[in-house]
Structure 1
Amino acid sequence: MSTLDARVTPPESGSNAETGSPSGRLHRRIAWHLRHNPKRELWVAWWIMVAFYIVFFAMVFIVAQVQPPPQPTWNLARQVHWFHERQLGIPIGLGVVFAITGMTAINNALIAHSMRRMSVSRAFGYAYLLIYSLAAVPGLLLLCIALVVGTLRPERNPEAIGWLYDFAFLSFDGTMGVFLIGSLIWMVAILIDKNRVFPKWFGYLNLCNALTEVVVAPCWLFQRGVLAWNGQIAWWLDMVVFGVYQVTFIVMLFLMIRREDFGTGPLPDLPRKRVTKLATAQ
């Protein structure tokens, strides 16, 4: 397909216009897609989502070093020392997280788009956006605020530092109800959808992710053992499930965009069509 053909191809043609991408340097192909690809908004949103999680992991786990979480049973002197060791890493790492927090709105919009593509009520997409517009506060911002405040004032009363220490990690690990509801909304939409946007097993994976938000709640009560905020269940098991879930839904959204035809019915099975086309050509 020539460039001229791609310009006049209507959006309903789905991914066919993508095959008109010119060969050559990477920046030229990217520029062509940004101008002519009917799915450019979806692909930009997907890449923003991938970039956010890469930067978030690097800043929180490597630069700030606030995850995996420290011990909830440390005394005040140990907590103050923990802040002192990260006096530079926390402001830099979590400062970057503050700067990129708005990227989560793009992520949520892409997921809401997937629900708009389903044969379900639009209320599912709107409810998901409403829930996750609040999720960044307990799920991210309160942790960042408390730890940055504790780091920037090392001369603060040790009892105040201890309060910030508890508040930061309890808010991060123990206030996940919004994520629970959001995962259940996406799960129900997938299970009752008739447009085959996602496979049914992915809906049940959303249920697994939702249950991790339940088992982490007891960290408000336990300072030791598997249910503490750094315990084998409340953090380590949850992190494994969430990591699998995170990678899976990124891949599922990628496949959804590839199959998108901007219609209202079931999404086409593009991989099978491509295999048939290649077999015919041979």
Structure 2
Amino acid sequence: MELKTKFRLHRMSVWAGVVVLIANLIAYFVVGKLFPPISPTATAAEVTAFLTANRSGILWAVVIMGIFAPFFYAFAVITSLQIRRIEGGWGILSMIQLTTAVVAPTGWVYPMAVLATAAYRPDRNPELMLMMSDQFWLTYVGVAVIFVLNIASIGLAVMVDKRANPVFPRWFGYLNFFLALSFFPGVFIYLFTEGPLSWNGLFALWIPACAFPVWKIAMIVCLLKAVKSEEQEALQAQARETASLGTARVG
């Protein structure tokens, strides 16, 4: 593959992250109207009323995520490829990042499909709709703890990078550690129906929800710079190889 084509694909993979971020915001906040979340203490009648009134939006939201969430795979791979540069080949950090990142699209689409199942038939038993609504929020918020390891692996890669020209800036490592910590409280939503650790609470939902777009934008900016630096290194290596071959032929 030509270097020009290779790095065009790399940049497209980074921009795929932008597509996913926009789709996420539109699906959950605008179309699905899932934020702010319904309370964990809501009754079956209240949940049924919400799902019935918002049926069309929820069904369209899962369609949007079904179409655009898979773009995250390209974003996950390019992230791992940049960590691979730091490790000098496939290593523990690049593989942890990649294997945990592949969960993300499923972690978005599957909970939405559960909620869509509840909204799909408005005449369904309200108790069943309550159960599926619970499953949506407990899955969507609760499994975010998986990404603690994913994001921490990126932060650790930044910190151990000893290259003369680091792949990522140092501050980006600290940002990843902060986001990893912000995702951790989500695992406690299974224990609470009220307060900051419930699925609509400050620590379990709102801090991670606000931190995620900031991190995502920083991730995109840093990845674009990393891809550019890798391309420059590859072009310089290619130029040296060409010059070396030319010298050998003359000799």
Do these two structures clear the TM 0.5 threshold for a shared fold by scoring above it?
yes
Aligned match of 1:272:
none
After superposing the two structures, state which structure 1 stretch, 60-69 or 147-156, moved more: 60-69
Q: Secondary structure at the match of 1:175?
A: helix
Partner letter of residue 40 of structure 1?
A: R
Map 1:146-157 to 2 at 5 A.
146-157=114-125
Aligned match of 1:243:
213
Aligned match of 1:75:
43
Q: Distance in 2 between matches of 1:178 and 1:97?
A: 20
What are the ranges of 5 or more consecutive residues in structure 1 without an aligned counterpart?
1-9, 12-35, 265-282
The reply to whether residue 219 of structure 1 matches residue 189 of structure 2 is yes
Q: Secondary structure at the match of 1:224?
A: coil
Q: Secondary structure at the match of 1:66?
A: coil
Q: Distance in 1 between matches of 2:43 and 2:97?
A: 40
Q: How much is the aligned-residue C-alpha RMSD, in angstroms?
A: 1.8
TM-score by length of 2: 0.85
Shift of 1:119: 3.7
Q: Distance in 2 between matches of 1:167 and 1:37?
A: 44
After superposing the two structures, state which structure 1 stretch, 242-251 or 128-137, moved more: 128-137
Aligned match of 2:171:
201
Aligned match of 2:19:
51
Shift of 1:229: 0.8
Shift of 1:78: 0.3
8 Å CA contact retained: 2:152, 2:180? yes
Aligned match of 1:233:
203
Q: Are residues 101 and 185 of structure 1, via their aligned partners in 2, closer, same or farther at CA, if it must alter by over 3 Å?
A: same
Q: Distance in 1 between matches of 2:123 and 2:231?
A: 59
Q: 1:130 aligns with which of 74, 84, 99?
A: 99
Shift of 1:136: 2.9
8 Å CA contact retained: 1:174, 1:218? yes
Q: Distance in 1 between matches of 2:89 and 2:8?
A: 25
Q: 1:65 aligns with which of 33, 36, 42?
A: 33
* CA-to-aligned-CA distance 1:66-124 (integer Å, 9 cap, x gap): 23322111111000001011111111121121122211111101101111221455122
Identity level (%)? 25
Q: Distance in 1 between matches of 2:192 and 2:48?
A: 22
TM-score by length of 1: 0.76
8 Å CA contact retained: 2:19, 2:68? no
Structure with more of its chain in helix, by fraction: 2
8 Å CA contact retained: 2:7, 2:231? no
Shift of 1:38: 5.5
Aligned match of 2:8:
40
8 Å CA contact retained: 2:145, 2:186? no
Aligned match of 2:249:
none
Partner letter of residue 133 of structure 1?
A: V
Partner letter of residue 144 of structure 1?
A: M
Aligned residues: 230
The reply to whether residue 94 of structure 1 matches residue 68 of structure 2 is no
What are the ranges of 5 or more consecutive residues in structure 2 without an aligned counterpart?
235-251
Shift of 1:65: 1.1
Q: Distance in 2 between matches of 1:187 and 1:167?
A: 31
8 Å CA contact retained: 1:187, 1:206? yes
Shift of 1:211: 0.8
* CA-to-aligned-CA distance 1:24-52 (integer Å, 9 cap, x gap): xxxxxxxxxxxx56621112112222122
8 Å CA contact retained: 2:7, 2:227? yes
Q: Secondary structure at the match of 2:188?
A: helix
Q: Distance in 2 between matches of 1:48 and 1:237?
A: 24
